[in-house]
A and B are shown apart, each in its own frame.
Chain A
C-alpha cells in the first residue's frame, strides 16, 4: 500500500465515528422527529413543563434499565426486575409496619425502624439477583428462563405478603418522605435526582472502568473472554446482584412515593426496561450498547406515552401505538447500522 492511500484511509477513519455514537445520534434524530410530530398534533405538547415531565416521569424504568442494559450487553436478560420492584416495595412496608396493632393481618408488620426495614428489603432484592446468578452463571441455564421464573417468584411472594392487595396502614410517617421529597419550587423529585446520578455513574462505569470493559468483552465473545482470563461467572453474578439492587432501590422509592407496598406495582416494567435498552441501541446479542442510548430510548418511550395520552387515545390504543413505534424505531436502527457496515 502506498503512503498516500494509507494517509487517506487514516483521515477517513479519524472522521468516522464509532457505531455506538452513530446509533445514539441516530436515535436522538428519531426522538427529535417524533417530538416534532407530537408538537404539531398534540395540544400544548411544546410547553416547558411537559418537556420536563418527558425527561423525568420515566425515572423508575430508567433506573432498572441501567441493570437490564448492562446485562443485555453481556448477552443476558433480566426479566425479574418488575417483580423485584413489587417485592421490595411490599417488604419495606411490611418490615416497618407496627407490630400487633390490629385485627387486620394486613395492618400488622414487624415494627422495625425504617432504616433497618429498607436495608433488609434491599438485601432480599439482592437475594433474588443471587438466585438468578446462581442458575445462569454457575448452572448455565438460559437467562430468559431463569429470570422469567424469578419474576413470577418475586411477584408471587409480594402477593402472598399483601394477600394479593397492598399494605398501606400503620406505617411510620418517615416511610412517605423520600419518595415525595422534591427540589423546592419545582416538581423534580429526589427520585429523579437519584436516577440522574445513577445514569452518570453508570456512564462513567461503562466508559472508564476495567469492570465496565469486561462487561463488553463478555458480551462480545464469552469464550474468548474466559480464555483471556476474565472470571465470566463472577462478573455476571455481580451484575445480576447489581441489577436486583437497582430494582430494589426503585421499589423502595415507589413504595415511599405512594406510602404503600403494592403487590402489582411496576407490572410489565421489565418489558419497558428491555424496550428502552433496545431502542437505545443495545444489541440483543450482546457486546454493544450504552446507558446513554438507553436514556434516549426512555425519552422516546415517554414521548410516545405522553402524546398518546394527549391525543386522548383509549389505553388499549396506547399500547398498540407504543408497539408499532418501538418496532419501527428498532427496525430503522438495524437498517441504518447494516447500511453503514455495507
Chain B
C-alpha cells in the first residue's frame, strides 16, 4: 500500500450533545510526519474532536480516513491498534512497575506461564534508549519525573508503530528544562514516521514546535495553514476569537467604594502572591485558561485548601474552613455541580435550604411548612423547571440542577457569592437567566466573584476582570467600552 500524503483526513465531522453541537461540520487534513497544532478557546470543540479520534466519544456523522482507510474507534485500545496513540494529561503508566514492565504491559509473551524476552520487547527497550538514555529499563516508574513518564509513554507509542500521537497539554506540569527536552524528542519523532497532533493553550509553544496549525472556534473549523504562513501571535488570536459579538456591558452608576473583601499575598501550591480588593456590589471576574489557577483561588478563599497569606472579609480575618467562611457570610457555587454542589439522591426540597438550616428551624427542629415554602419560593424565583418540590435532584436537567445549587447559595444570604464556572454545560436560555440573577444580586449590594474560562461571560457581566496565568494575576482590567479581547487572550496565553 502506497502511503498517502495525509495521515488523517477528516470530512464533515459532526458531534451533537443533547443541548449543543460541539463539532459542526469540521473538515481538514493532517500531513504525514509533521507536528500539527490544534488551537481554540475553551469550548471551541478541540477536546470533543480529540475524544472522537481517541475513541472516547462516537461521532454523530462524518468520515475520518486514517492512511486513506475508514477509521473508527470505540475505545482508546481500538484507537491504538489502528495507529492513534494518546498522551493524556493523566498519564497512563503504572507507578509500581519498572520502566520495562510498563513498556511491555499487555504484550508479554510467556512460555509455560513464565515471562520471555522477545525481539519485540528488545526493540521497545532500544527505542526507549535512543529517545532518552538517562532512563534505565529497570527503574521503578514511581521514581521518574512527569516528563520522564511522558517519554516512557511516547517510547511505547513509537515502538508499537503508531502513526499518530496526540498530545493534550503535555507541558502543563513540566519545568522549563523539561519542556526543552520534550520538544527535542517531539521534533525527532518526524524521522520515525510519527505524526504529532499537539494541543496547547500556550501559544508560544505552538510557534516553536508546530509545522501546521488548525484553528477551531465554536465547534467549527476556521483555518488550517503552515505555521510559516501565520504572521504572529496576534493573527492567531484573531482567528481564535473571530468577531464574537458580546452582549453590551453597561457600567454601573455610582459604584460603591466600600471594600468588603481584601486578599493579601495569597499563595498555595498552585497560586503565587495574589492580592486584590472587592467592593460592595461589585462583580469581579477571574479569567484564565484551563490550569491557570481559578478553581484553586476559589477553594483557597472558601477555606477548602490550605494557604499562606491573609483574607479579610468585612474587616474580619477569614478562617480556613468552609463552615467558618460560610458563617462569616460567603458562599460558593462549586465548579463540579454534581460531585461538589448537588445532593443528587435528595429532593429539590432536600437541597435548597441546606446552607441556612437555622432559618427554617426552631430549636433544632425543621419546620416543614417553612421548608416547603422556601423551596417553592426559589423554584418560582429562579424558574426551576421541576414538577414539584419533591422531585429528585438527579432527575433535573443540567441547567436546572445548576439553578438548584445557586438557590442553595442564595438562601445562605451571603454578602459575597463566589461562582466557579457558573454556566458550564448549560444551555443558552438558562445561561442568560443566571446572568440576570447575578446582575440583580449585585444591584442589591451582594459582591460577586466569577471564576470562568469563557471570555464572553466575563466581559458580559463583570465590572473588574483579573487575568490569571500560571497561578498569578497578570493584569487587571476595568470593564468598559474599550475592552480589547485580543489583548486578553494574548495575556492569558502567557504573552507579556
Contact = CB atoms under 8 A, between A and B. Distances in A.
A9 B340 contact: no
A226 B364 contact: no
A221 B322 contact: no
Interface in A124-146: none
A333 to B, nearest CB: 16
Contacts of A227: 302, 304, 322, 332, 334, 340-341
B365 interface: yes
Contact of A213 (B332, B344, B366, B388): B366
A60 interface: no
Interface residues of B, number: 36
Interface in B5-19: none
A266 B388 CA distance: 46
Contacts of B325: 229
B390 interface: yes
Given A223-B339, A223-B340, A228 B364 contact: no
Contact of B345 (A10, A230, A288): A288
A18 B390 contact: yes
Interface string B88-122: 00000000000000000000000000000000000
Contact of B327 (A209, A211, A224, A229): A229
Contacts of A216: 346, 350
A287 interface: yes
B239 interface: no
Contact of A210 (B339, B346, B355, B357): B357
Grouping DSSP codes into helix (H, G, I), strand (E, B) and loop, the B interface class, with mixed when no group exceeds half, is mixed
Grouping DSSP codes into helix (H, G, I), strand (E, B) and loop, the A interface class, with mixed when no group exceeds half, is helix
Given A208-B365, A209-B365, A210-B365, A10 B304 contact: no
B345 A220 contact: yes
A14 B388 CA distance: 8
Contacts of A12: 387
Contacts of A6: 387
B345 A287 contact: yes
B366 A220 contact: no
A13 B390 contact: yes
Interface in B342-370: 342-347, 350, 354-355, 357-358, 361, 364-366, 368
B474 interface: no
A199 to B, nearest CB: 18
Interface in B362-396: 364-366, 368, 385, 387-388, 390-392
A334 interface: no
A231 interface: yes
A54 B355 CA distance: 43
Contacts of B345: 220, 287-288
Interface string A207-250: 01111011011001101111111110000000000000000000
Interface string B403-441: 000001000100000000000000000000000000000
Contacts of B304: 226-227
Contacts of B277: none
A330 B387 CA distance: 31
B323 to A, nearest CB: 4
A10 B387 CA distance: 5
A231 B346 CA distance: 19
B461 interface: no
Contacts of B343: 217, 220-221, 224-225, 287
A10 B350 contact: no
25 contacts: A9-B387, A14-B388, A18-B347, A209-B361, A210-B361, A211-B364, A213-B354, A213-B357, A216-B350, A217-B346, A217-B354, A220-B344, A220-B346, A223-B339, A224-B341, A224-B342, A225-B343, A227-B304, A227-B340, A227-B341, A228-B326, A229-B322, A229-B355, A287-B343, A287-B345
Given A221-B344, A224-B334, A224-B341, 6 more contacts: A210-B365, A216-B346, A224-B339, A227-B340, A229-B355, A287-B343
Interface of B: 302, 304, 322-323, 325-327, 332, 334, 339-347, 350, 354-355, 357-358, 361, 364-366, 368, 385, 387-388, 390-392, 408, 412
